[in-house]
Amino acid sequence: MKEMLSLILAELVESVGADLGIRSGCIYRLSGKAYRKTDQLSGSGVGGWPASIPIDNEAIELLARHKNYIFVDTVDPPWGRNSVAVLFSEDDEYLLVMMLEDGWVRETLDFSLNTIRSTLNFSSSTSRFSADLQEAYEIQKSLLPRIEPEFEGYEIAGRMEAAERVGGDLYDFSALEEGVLSFAVGDASGHGLPAALLARDVVTGLRMGMEKEMKISSVLRKLNNVIYRSRLSTRFISLFYGELEPEGTLVYVNAGHPPPILFKSDRIEKLSTGGTILGPLEDTEFNRGFAFMDPGDLLIIFTDGILEATNTDGDIYDEGRLIEFVRSNIESPAFEIIRGLFTEIRDFAGSVRLQDDTTAVVIRRQRPQSE
């Protein structure tokens, strides 16, 4: 942030300094009860730039009311008269002071001050947004499995691609006691840091609940209430959570998520039992669903970004296309199905930018070696 503001200050003096009558400048940052000097351009105020300026200084109090002010003869600021000062960024965190050459024109300077302040506000908020985005990216990256779990008798593969740098999709695996595999796929509303924080809280809550051996319906009910009471701007998340036993029994809860599809030898099953999405209603009840994976069966769990991909003709990559793709690749390894699906979606969309994150997890129960 400091480096960026220094560049802005130098650019102001170099590009418009002559026109506006600016000869030098200094940047201060609010720290406690004073603005403290962070950087200066060549030149100084009268007697040099002060190292700090108390917030109860008369000049600062005047600035707090007007946001920018030309000091000529009404107030004697610590840096000297014949100067202009601007407060900017959220909560007036930064103060820019500029000394003026003789001959400056008030009308020209007045006209430019609001533009200068808007530019500074935009630049500081952009820097803050970039920092938030990087933090969200790190959170999301930490949530995604580094490698797929090994679960004897099964192939597992997963992938998430964000429509923007950071999205609200998640998927997670965890090994429970007695050889049970738990897995989750979710889609938090929104993007950026709020969505990443919600996804982090959901994954953490699921893992803690499973460590305490709570029933999955109870875990989701508690998670729902936590999200409902949270102050995050993003407060809704669809979630599919399942626990798979080695012999094929699957217990799950679907909280408002697109129903995963279980491909069996003679039919498909959609796993929809559960309840509403997490967050909007307090004390929501969730029901458990049951399914069974026979050898050769394949389960695909996905977020709605898969089904909402749009091409140049306005067609969407709907559930029918997804089912057709999986059926035509049903004998392929799980990781190839995932890779092929994401390639097909990108090819389908063509030049149309995906508007939502896309996530998919494939779990296949392997046939015995003799088959």
Taking residues 284-301, report their average pLDDT. Answer: 96
Provide CB contacts within 8 A for 169, sequence distance 6+.
Answer: 160, 162, 185, 186, 187, 188, 199, 303, 305, 357, 358, 359
Give the model confidence (pLDDT) of 145-180 as tens digits: 778 889 999 999 999 987 765 567 889 998 887 789
Domain 144-365 class, CATH top level: alpha beta
Strand ranges for 256-323 from DSSP E: 261-263, 268-270, 274-275, 289-292, 298-302
Mapping DSSP onto H, E and C, the string for 318-340 reads: CHHHHHHHHHHCCCCCHHHHHHH
Closest CA to 43 of 71, 76, 21: 21
Please choose, from the candidates 253, 275, 288, the residue with its C-alpha nearest in 3D space to the C-alpha of residue 183: 253
Note the pLDDT tens digit of each residue in 308-325.
Answer: 999 999 999 999 999 999
Q: Reply yes or no on whether the pLDDT at 259 is more than 80.
A: yes
pTM for the model stands at: 0.64
Mean pLDDT of 202-222: 77
For the segment 68-97, the average pLDDT, to the nearest whole number, is 82
Average confidence score pLDDT of the chain: 82
Three-class secondary structure of residue 183 per DSSP: strand
Is residue 13 very low, low, confident or very high in pLDDT (cuts 50, 70, 90)?
Answer: low
Lowest mean pLDDT: which of 80-89, 115-124, 321-330?
115-124
Task: Calculate the CA 363 to chain-centre distance.
Answer: 27
Range from 121-125, 192-196, 209-213, 319-323 carrying the lowest mean pLDDT: 121-125
Closest-CA residue to 299 (of 327, 245, 339, 262): 262
Supply the pLDDT for residue 165: 57
Of 12 and 256, the one with more pLDDT: 256
218 pLDDT exceeds 60?
Answer: yes
Candidates 362, 369, 247, 370; CA nearest to 300 is: 362
Please tell me the least confidently modeled range out of 208-212, 251-255, 258-262, 336-340: 208-212
Count of other CB atoms within 10 angstroms of residue 314: 7
CATH topology of domain 2-135: Beta-Lactamase (3.30.450)
The CA–CA distances, whole Å, from 195 to 66, 145, 199, 201 equal: 36, 18, 6, 10
Distance CA 302, CA 318 (A): 12
Is the pLDDT assigned to residue 334 strictly greater than 80? yes
pLDDT of residue 130: 55
CB 100 within 8 A of CB 82: yes
Q: Which two tokens stand for residue 309?
A: 């991909």
- Asked, colleague to colleague, whether 2-135 and 144-365 share their fold, the answer is no
| Residue appearing with tokens 């202009």 | 84
- C-alpha 323/C-alpha 320 separation (Å) is 5
pLDDT above 70 as % of the chain: 75
* Torsion on CA atoms 290, 295, 301, 306, rounded to nearest 10: -140
Judge residue 28's burial from the number of C-beta atoms within 10 Å of its C-beta, 0-12 exposed, 13-18 middle, 19 or more buried: buried
Residue 129 banded pLDDT, cuts 50, 70, 90 = very low
- Residue 203 vs residues 240, 273, 284, 344: alpha-carbon distances, Å: 12, 21, 19, 29
Domain range list for the chain: 2-135, 144-365
Q: Identify the band that residue 48 occupies on the pLDDT scale cut at 50, 70 and 90.
A: confident
**Could you give phi then psi for residue 19, rounded to 5 degrees?**
-65, -35
- Is residue 221 over pLDDT 70? yes
Question: Element (H or E) spanning 237, and its range?
Answer: strand 237-244
- DSSP E strands, 101-211: 154-161, 169-175, 181-188
User: Which class for 294: exposed (0-12), middle (13-18), buried (19 or more C-beta within 10 A)?
Assistant: exposed
Separation of CA 312 from chain center: 27
Residue 233 structure tokens: 């701007």
